[in-house]
Structure 1
Amino acid sequence: MLRSMYAGISGMKGFQTKLDVVGNNISNVNTAGFKKGRVTFQDLLSQTTTGASGPTENRGGVNPSQVGLGSQLGSIDDIHTQGFSQTTDNPLDLQLEGDGMFVLETPDGQAYTRAGNFYLDTNGDIVNSDGYYLMGVDENGQESHLNIPENATNINIEKDGTVTYVDGDNNVEDNQQIQIAVFSNPAGLEKDGGSLYLESNNSGVPNLTDPETDGAATIVSGALEMSNVDLAEEFTEMITAQRGFQANTRIITTSDEILQELVNLKR
């Protein structure tokens, strides 16, 4: 009896976590650059009541008899599929089509993001909503902040990340380029809040490259990549988690009723 109760408890814990992940996905359905999470489960150890035996001359083989002890959390994965596109016609709203992430310089080091809603600060640097610098290379190929002078007009960002504008002397400048970080295992990146990702021991070292090269994404100016959350899928997963949780509570209730009957035998 007690095994079934503990199995039910382990199932309840797993479905609680699944519901937490689904709730986070739904809450970020309109978050630019958000990548949905997914929960997988594994079975726990099984208790062997009868071991297996091989066939002999006079008798065939016998399979093992085992009782499972419940389920456990297998993994919580980030699904890095392409998000939905939203057109904004703002030249500093950038969408990545393909693999890779924008590189940002923060006070704590470099971070990475798929959220492409960028702005100009008072110094002309291209920053995100938290003031972190968008990184690229200058005309000498050196890593630097991307900067646009105050008197610049006709700002445009090409598909290959080249930043172009017309300066105060009516000269077209195109000596800066956005860099894209490509990871061998983007699912291994750690979420750091604020739509930021950090390099981890299992994400691989970022390969900084130009857009449209080495399998890196193409940059689309005037659009944003929204989240890849599908509400229909999430509501289906929510129902699955809810019913799974309810079913496991019924296991505990039924086991409790049977234990109560056993206790009532001595009267």
Structure 2
Amino acid sequence: MMRSLYSGVSGLQNHQTRMDVIGNNISNVNTTGFKRGRVNFQDMISQQLSGSAKPTEEKGGVNPKEVGLGMTVAAIDTVFTQGNLQSTGISTDVAIQGNGFFIEKNGENSFYTRAGAFGVDKNGTLVNPANGYKVQGWMARELNGEMVIQSAATPTDITIPIGSKDPAKATQNVNFACNLNKNTPEIQEGANEAEIAKGTWNTEFKIYDSFGNSHLLNVNFTRVPGEPNQWRGAVQIDPDNAEFTQTRVGIGTTDVGENSEFIVQFDNTGTLQSVTIPGVNQTSNPEGEIVLQASYRVPDSRDGENGEPYRQTFNISLGTIGSQINTVTQSASQSSTKAFYQDGYTMGYLERFQIDSTGTITGIYSNGTNRTIAQLALATFTNQGGLEKSGDTNFKESINSGIANIGVSGVAGKGSLLAGALEMSNVDLTEQFTDMIVTQRGFQSNAKTIQTADTLLETVLSLKR
């Protein structure tokens, strides 16, 4: 009689625990990055009334007789299924699609979360604004003029240099490509202005000196009279002030006198063949890329050696010999040759930043440049179900979770990232309300067990009047 009473009590207690978990799930139905809990039951020990007996020659075996003494909670699991992704349009919101956790630090304590609603504090540090925990990743370092991220290093705090300056960079390379019209008329001696204009293909492109000042690069192409497949190129920097800038052109060096012209030779198929500098013994390499070197005097500057205005040097690439791709060619179609690329820029300020699917944070500057700032770190665990909840939608390592495997997105089973979105709770209300009904009925049934056992006890007590 007493066994059923205590079995009923265990049923009431543990169904109440299940109801507590369901209630917590429902309360977090709109919590960013929340992972629902699940309660599993198992029966408790059983009292053996008689043991089993093996078969004999005279009769068969007998099964044991056991009475269960109730039930208990087997496990309260955290279910790490993917939550829906909701677009927010906020650049500092990041969602994980797949496995992995963001890493946050409070002092030396590490926490792990799926909630990517981040922000920037007054120091530019990327943090969880709800509790001030600092988001972890790797800051980019400048090596040989390139921003490099070393993800094998220990993750650190991420700082976004809001308002920082990107210093000016002088143009070092200018690339030309496209076509020169084979049918362009030759400019004969004594030609008038209209004939000169018809026989000249004029290109202009903006370049920069080391101060960030812009200059106009002007390259004119005209056919060499009487020489098939040859064009004369004339380089000028700031044509309105050409006398001061004094442009020079050479192959490998500009120390070949005050020369600003070059001759381009094409073969009979219209592909680039060679370049020579007239008046000096300079001819381009027989194969590979053809690169001219040009220099000009920078206004309001001084050379440290002789006090003369500083000469800025840059390369002009006409393309690859024998190639038709990103190379100057000669064909009987409209001229289209122009400079399509230069690598200089003026000084700029960081205006905004964006995060890509690998967690790389890229700064976008007012001068049009993009620079890698940092990369978010992700952590995975051998047994993520062994993580302990620590509040604030955070988890921490336990002795059964394994240590954090830290790396970049998309590597070693880690998911991809989506900026401007958040992962919502993975709680399914339909499932939770169904579980609530089942839990309620289970609780009621165990209560009836206690009531019925009490009625039986009352019957026994009434045997003696």
Superposition TM-score, scaled by structure 1 size: 0.97
Percentage identity across aligned positions?
A: 45
- Work out which of the two has the higher radius of gyration on C-alpha atoms and give 1 or 2: 2
- The offset of 1:154, in angstroms, is 3.4
SS class of match (1:30): coil
Deviates more, 1:82-91 or 1:166-175: 166-175
* Structure 1 portions without partners, runs of 5+: none
- The offset of 1:153, in angstroms, is 2.0
In structure 1, the residue matched to 2:385 is 187
Change (3 A) 1:246 1:108: farther
**Considering only aligned residues, what root-mean-square deviation do their CA atoms show, in Å?**
1.2
Superposition TM-score, scaled by structure 2 size: 0.56
* Structure 2 portions without partners, runs of 5+: 142-149, 164-349
Q: Does 1:134 align with 2:135?
A: yes
- The offset of 1:217, in angstroms, is 1.0
- The offset of 1:171, in angstroms, is 3.1
Structure showing the higher helix proportion among its residues: 1
CA distance in 2, matches of 1:149, 1:223: 23
SS class of match (1:232): helix
CA distance in 2, matches of 1:24, 1:9: 23
Deviates more, 1:145-154 or 1:57-66: 145-154
Contact 2:363–2:373 (CA<8 Å) still a contact in 1?
A: no
Contact 2:160–2:373 (CA<8 Å) still a contact in 1?
A: no
Contact 1:149–1:167 (CA<8 Å) still a contact in 2?
A: no
In structure 1, the residue matched to 2:2 is 2
CA distance in 1, matches of 2:55, 2:138: 70
Deviates more, 1:238-247 or 1:153-162: 153-162
Determine which of 238, 244, 247 is the counterpart of 2:445. Answer: 247
SS class of match (1:241): helix
- The offset of 1:107, in angstroms, is 2.9
In structure 2, the residue matched to 1:27 is 27
- The offset of 1:133, in angstroms, is 0.9
CA distance in 1, matches of 2:362, 2:108: 29
In structure 1, the residue matched to 2:97 is 97
| Structure 2 counterparts to residues 29-108 of structure 1, below 5 A | 29-107=29-107
**How many residue pairs are counted as aligned between the two chains?**
267
SS class of match (1:21): helix
In structure 2, the residue matched to 1:177 is 375
Query: What do the CA deviations read for 1:188-220 (whole angstroms, capped 9, x no partner)?
Result: 111010011111101111011110111101000
Structure 1 residue identity aligned to 2:416: T
- The offset of 1:170, in angstroms, is 4.4
Q: Does 1:212 align with 2:410?
A: yes
SS class of match (1:192): strand
- The offset of 1:167, in angstroms, is 3.6
- The offset of 1:91, in angstroms, is 1.1
- The offset of 1:108, in angstroms, is 5.1
SS class of match (2:49): strand
Structure 2 residue identity aligned to 1:49: L
- The offset of 1:148, in angstroms, is 1.3
CA distance in 2, matches of 1:176, 1:104: 15
CA distance in 2, matches of 1:174, 1:128: 22
- The offset of 1:168, in angstroms, is 5.7
Query: What do the CA deviations read for 1:100-153 (whole angstroms, capped 9, x no partner)?
Result: 000001135111100000011111111112111111012252422111122222
CA distance in 1, matches of 2:110, 2:60: 64
